[in-house]
Structure 1
Amino acid sequence: MDIKRMLNMCKQANRHEGKRVTILGAGIAGLVAAYELERLGHQVDIMEGSSRIGGRVWTHRFTDGSNAAYGELGAMRIPSEHKHVLHYIHEMGLADKLCKFVTVFEEQNALMSIQGKVFRMKDAPQIFQKRYPSIFSDTRYSEKTKLFAAWFKTIVDVISPGNLRYSLECDLSSKLMDELERLDLEPYFNDHSQTIDLHSFIKANPSLRARCSKALDMFLSDILVETSHDLLQLEGGMDQLVNHLAAAVKAPIKFNQKVVGLHVHEDYVKVSYLEEGQLRTRHCDYVVCTIPFSIVRQMELGGFDDDKLASIHNTFYCPATKVLFHCTEPFWQKAGIKGGASFNDEGIRQIYYPSVECNPASSSTLLASYTIGDDADHLGMMSEQERYAFVKNAASKLHPEIETPGMVVNMATIAWGNYKWSAGGCSIPWGGDITSESNHHIHYLEAARPQNTLLFAGEHCSRFPAWLQGAIESSIEAVYDIAASKPATKSTTPTPSVSVEKVNAPTLVGYGA
């Protein structure tokens, strides 16, 4: 639904102003909810467990100042069709910061390393025959079919976690090659057969997806988005959006308040939280919980129905790991690389270059490794220093300049699977026990379903898991539910109070800053 229409519905439904709403989490979902609820005349307060805003929007700046080198440890791109995100970028006066994000397979001078062989992406067709003998040795299929299958396999290998790479191997050997052979593939190669247009192919030939495993079929949607030529970013850092939203919210954000319990009553919610080593409780009329279910399931929960508890405990989260290198110069530009991504199959997977052109004489940031799934788990188990050394060694196979003394002056990393406040990079519909798209539809609706006056928002409660679009859409839906709800004739909410118990609270430390 169009976001302006959604916001207009919130205004029309808002017949009872002055409700008191507590928002758990100061990520994009929590900040949007706070912003819109205040505009509707409601009283808001925000509790954040960590010491920072943004959640999984995290721009790391290596130095101070407006021209500081930076990289994205979290969200880094915006599909042009994600109108909810673009709405708030315009609303916050950031439209002039929007620029193109050059994505994987879009820069033909980018590099690929497969089984120790390094080559440019534009030279891939000549390399594939040696690297994929199981595909090219099969005499039942035409050369076009084999080359298309090799590209298809490469695209999946670059972006997907290990279980889906294995799924594609099985699908190719059992049925996908036959399906490709019967289709006209010529229109989907570029002029020199260097690459394929997977977007147009999938759109025109849905029969191929029908022959894929369910998990691979659903992940293809993510692949199509990630390889789109219509991705955007905010020049200067994605954190500009959350910073502007936070500045536009009147309510203060209370940091270092770790929620450890949620107890739902008929018309109020008891929130238990740790602050400065003490366990405190407060009673709230309405609560919007934007905390990932990977963290909610660690809490003490009361008053939840069985289906809701099942949703909280069964939502599957995928790990993701990023490693940033602050380099003294954008050495990759000398090789004609102006954005996009290279690929290394030695465990670091994707290497992203800045899409914004860098001054050759100034420092710049390289996203030296972006992994998800089993690759992210492998890196996540290392100490930060071990991870830096591993990534530096693997990335230098593509770019020997990395080993030049003084080239890499600083590094930053995050393993979202280990991060205290999310325990995962994002929720995913193609993992766990979810085996079909219809099951995912049921799953996200159940994730978003309220428990009396406790509402839920976040990418895990949406049709767009892993994207800012989903976090915002679910947040607006929670705002509507609050606006449309009719307060109890006589409030039975206890007078706000705090009970205190001395406990040994864990230290609140950010990861990878």
Structure 2
Amino acid sequence: MGLTRRAFLERLGALGGYSAVYLGMEAMGLLNAPPANAEPFELPRQAGNGRSVVILGAGIAGLVAAYELKRAGWDVTVLEARDRVAGRVWTIRGGDRIVQTGRADQVARFSDGLYFNAGAARIPAAHRTILGYAKSLNVPLEVMVNANRASKWDFGGRAWSNREVTHSLRGRFSELLSKAIDRHALDAEIPAGQRDNLRGFLAFYGELNQRGEYEPSGRTGYAEHPGGYNATGRANGGLTLEQIMSQPAWALPLVFEEFFDQQSPMFQPVGGMDRIAHALYEQVRPQVRLNRPVLEIRRTGDRVRIVHGPGRQALEADYCLCTLPLNLLQRIPSDFSPAKQAAIGGVPYVPGGKVAFESRRFWEDEGIYGGLGWTDQVTENLIYPSGGWHSDKGVLVTAYVAGWTSQNHPAEFTALSHDERFRISREVVERLHTGHSRELVNPATVSWGLTPWSEGIGPAHPDWFSNPRPARYAELLRPEGPIFFAGEHLSYLLFWQEGAALSAQEAMRLMSAHAAERRLAAA
């Protein structure tokens, strides 16, 4: 019996956790990506006609909503629990304080001009909505090097290059297929006239010699690089099939850059991932109130009443747009219906986290300019900095933990002390770049499970990894009278800024229609 899609996703989840399942569903066409030709969003001018709206949360969804609603004539107030905007799009710079629940505060010591993207890491070219805001608000972008064959991987206690693993896999699989053709094992599937064509393709694709055997000729890199005059170079030998099959955790890294939202080119705002959020903030700064955690969400007639802030102040408005994550929203007293309360409750979030160090850019000495490194350790992922080439220093992200190589890693990482995370990160870097871990200085770490007002990266509940999503999700999309909902968790683009922005636009369409109906009814 063939492997069903459900069984495949279950196996993928066992290996790579939540992130692998989500990316796998996307690759299989089980998630609804936004259409490439989506019309630019614009509310009718003066659609608000002075009506008031309170927006809960100044992350991407809240800031997009505030920006668009203000332009459309709404009286906007944004309540944000933190002392900063952008939510999980968090860029840390020198002097910034890092608060983690139950841990000692850290103060980032990065040199001037350096920064650590502790939250969102990249923007796909396909995410036209968030890129559109960057363009309209004049936020400069640069390429984020997501895929780099020179980047290093650490599996089984040994370092490999991306190109060694990737091209060895192609070569060994091509050799197996070529042998199967020669032994007539595929005669029923391949017409006789096509076998030589396929054999020829495999020879080129997989670096096969005339005997149909894998014979690396440089794609895996060089033990001795070619040079001038008689320096012919010596290619690396490549991995054996046994070595490849001994590392099942390679599955996700090997196909990571092939997923729709991870394909080149990827982008990042110049100066930090939070630059788009701050550009939106500058448009609505007078409307945003920081350090105002939401304490109650109430209805008062056909309006809303929000209790917030240290002094339990009350704010009334015609409408509310709630962008708070479900794991926090379920703890806030409200007048939501039993159906809404049930839909909100019991949704765990992926804890995840990151580690970063400042360092001399020693990786460039090895020809590594951006890209991702991978490890089977709890730290999972490295991000070599994109940009700033040949400058003295950079910030190396030595851990990006989201369940990439094991579903257990996010919880394990969160439980580690800061010093333990730094130690493991240094050990991985030392295996990848022998002698250079001592150059890592000024470390900083974030666990999203311990970050106040976030407490996770995004939903880890099975309902968010199915298509179509069940009744719980449909209920969350429905307004509660004058209260509407948005956030990346209310999109099929989980964990992405694009999902947050698009869900906010959908909520605004509904809210504007509701306001128009009210005006007609009152006329």
Q: What TM-score does the superposition give when structure 1 sets the normalisation length?
A: 0.72
Separation (CA, whole Å) in 2 of partners of 1:330 and 1:249: 38
Closer/same/farther in 2, CA of residues 377 and 16 from structure 1, 3 Å limit: closer
CA contact (8 A) 1:114 1:345 kept: yes
Closer/same/farther in 2, CA of residues 435 and 32 from structure 1, 3 Å limit: closer
Q: AA paired with 1:72?
A: N
Closer/same/farther in 2, CA of residues 2 and 250 from structure 1, 3 Å limit: farther
State which of 479, 482, 507 in structure 2 corresponds to 1:478.
507
Question: How far does the alpha carbon of each residue in 1:408-461 deviate from its partner, in whole angstroms, 9 at most, with x for none?
Answer: 221121111221211111235xx4345631126x65543332111111111011
State which of 442, 454, 459 in structure 2 corresponds to 1:410.
442
Cross-structure match for 1:393: 427
Separation (CA, whole Å) in 1 of partners of 2:134 and 2:421: 34
CA contact (8 A) 2:320 2:484 kept: yes
Tell me, yes or no, if structure 1 residue 113 matches structure 2 residue 150: no
The CA deviation at 1:351 is 0.7
Q: AA paired with 1:391?
A: S
The CA deviation at 1:251 is 2.9
The percentage of counterpart residues that share the same residue type is 28
Unaligned runs of 5+ residues in structure 2 are: 1-34, 96-108, 180-184, 191-197, 208-213, 221-250
Separation (CA, whole Å) in 1 of partners of 2:354 and 2:290: 25
State which of 381, 386, 389 in structure 2 corresponds to 1:358.
389
CA contact (8 A) 2:357 2:396 kept: yes
Cross-structure match for 2:74: 42
Tell me, yes or no, if structure 1 residue 436 matches structure 2 residue 466: yes
Separation (CA, whole Å) in 1 of partners of 2:67 and 2:37: 14
Residue 388 of structure 1 aligns to a residue in which SS? helix
1:49-448 to structure 2, matched below 5 A, reads 49-62=81-94, 68-94=113-139, 97-103=140-146, 106-124=147-165, 143-144=175-176, 192=207, 224-225=259-260, 227-249=262-284, 251-275=286-310, 278-302=311-335, 304-327=336-359, 329-360=360-391, 362-373=392-403, 374-404=408-438, 407-427=439-459, 431-433=461-463, 436-439=466-469, 444-448=473-477
Q: AA paired with 1:326?
A: E
Closer/same/farther in 2, CA of residues 49 and 119 from structure 1, 3 Å limit: same
Residue 431 of structure 2 aligns to a residue in which SS? coil
Residue 287 of structure 1 aligns to a residue in which SS? strand
Aligned-residue Cα RMSD (Å) equals 3.7
The CA deviation at 1:91 is 1.1
Closer/same/farther in 2, CA of residues 345 and 255 from structure 1, 3 Å limit: same
Closer/same/farther in 2, CA of residues 222 and 477 from structure 1, 3 Å limit: farther
Separation (CA, whole Å) in 1 of partners of 2:469 and 2:58: 29
Separation (CA, whole Å) in 2 of partners of 1:253 and 1:266: 25
Closer/same/farther in 2, CA of residues 260 and 398 from structure 1, 3 Å limit: same
The CA deviation at 1:311 is 2.4
CA contact (8 A) 1:445 1:461 kept: no
Question: How far does the alpha carbon of each residue in 1:330-382 deviate from its partner, in whole angstroms, 9 at most, with x for none?
Answer: 1001111111111111221111101214224x110001111113212111112
CA contact (8 A) 1:444 1:460 kept: no
Residue 7 of structure 1 aligns to a residue in which SS? coil
Question: Which deviates the most, 287-296 or 473-482?
Answer: 473-482
Closer/same/farther in 2, CA of residues 143 and 316 from structure 1, 3 Å limit: farther
CA contact (8 A) 1:28 1:472 kept: yes
Closer/same/farther in 2, CA of residues 65 and 118 from structure 1, 3 Å limit: closer
Bigger Rg, which one: 2
Closer/same/farther in 2, CA of residues 60 and 434 from structure 1, 3 Å limit: closer
The CA deviation at 1:486 is 3.0
Tell me, yes or no, if structure 1 residue 453 matches structure 2 residue 453: no
Question: How far does the alpha carbon of each residue in 1:217-240 deviate from its partner, in whole angstroms, 9 at most, with x for none?
Answer: 9xx999703541221111211111
Q: AA paired with 2:74?
A: H
Separation (CA, whole Å) in 2 of partners of 1:462 and 1:325: 33
Separation (CA, whole Å) in 2 of partners of 1:188 and 1:79: 33
Residue 395 of structure 1 aligns to a residue in which SS? helix
The CA deviation at 1:386 is 2.5
Unaligned runs of 5+ residues in structure 1 are: 130-135, 148-177, 197-215, 493-513
Q: AA paired with 2:320?
A: V
Question: Which deviates the most, 30-39 or 307-316?
Answer: 307-316
The CA deviation at 1:189 is 9.0
Separation (CA, whole Å) in 2 of partners of 1:400 and 1:7: 51
Aligned residues: 414
Q: AA paired with 2:367?
A: G
Cross-structure match for 2:55: 23
Separation (CA, whole Å) in 2 of partners of 1:126 and 1:222: 14
Separation (CA, whole Å) in 1 of partners of 2:86 and 2:203: 40
CA contact (8 A) 1:444 1:463 kept: no
Residue 286 of structure 2 aligns to a residue in which SS? coil
Residue 468 of structure 2 aligns to a residue in which SS? helix
Closer/same/farther in 2, CA of residues 226 and 402 from structure 1, 3 Å limit: farther
Closer/same/farther in 2, CA of residues 85 and 300 from structure 1, 3 Å limit: same
Separation (CA, whole Å) in 2 of partners of 1:283 and 1:18: 14
Q: AA paired with 2:402?
A: I
Closer/same/farther in 2, CA of residues 187 and 478 from structure 1, 3 Å limit: farther
